[in-house]
Amino acid sequence: MIVACSSCSRPNRLPAARLLDKAHCAACKGPLLPASKPIAVESEDDFEELLRDAQAPVVVDFWASWCGPCRAVAPEVEKLAGQRAGSVVVAKVDTDALPDVAGRYGIRSIPTIILFRDSKEAKRVMGAMPASDIAAGLAI
């Protein structure tokens, strides 16, 4: 997984199994974890690793850059990541960049936000909504 440093914005590669550990940026030594912002999933392999190895529930926002409601819910997903840092891993999957991942989970409308527990889908919510409604709908 690639985690951007909140201090210097440099990308840092971390195994999904360590996303709840303490880690520091290789460049500036600033804290990387717990991730208080959503982690962008850049490949199918990264997505599989995230679901398989994450030591916490994973919330995935399926979105696309052209989608107005996706852009509206993005700050709420970021707020959710900040509120749940250390207990939940929040990730984003661009459905245009990873259509096979979106297809595997039957994503037909975006934004769709899915909670995964032990690599399996537990709950999902669809549409733009505040962070509190996302958390309530996913029961996290």
Catalytic residues: 67, 70
Closest Cα to residue 134, out of 76, 57, 65? 76
The conformation of residue 26, written as its DSSP 8-state character, comes to T
Q: Residue 121: beta bridge partners?
A: 116
What residue type is assigned to position 102 of the chain?
A
Closest Cα to residue 62, out of 3, 1, 115? 115
- Separation between Cα atoms, residue 69 and residue 88, nearest integer Å: 23
Closest Cα to residue 130, out of 59, 71, 76? 76
**Helices then strands (H, E): number in the chain?**
4, 7
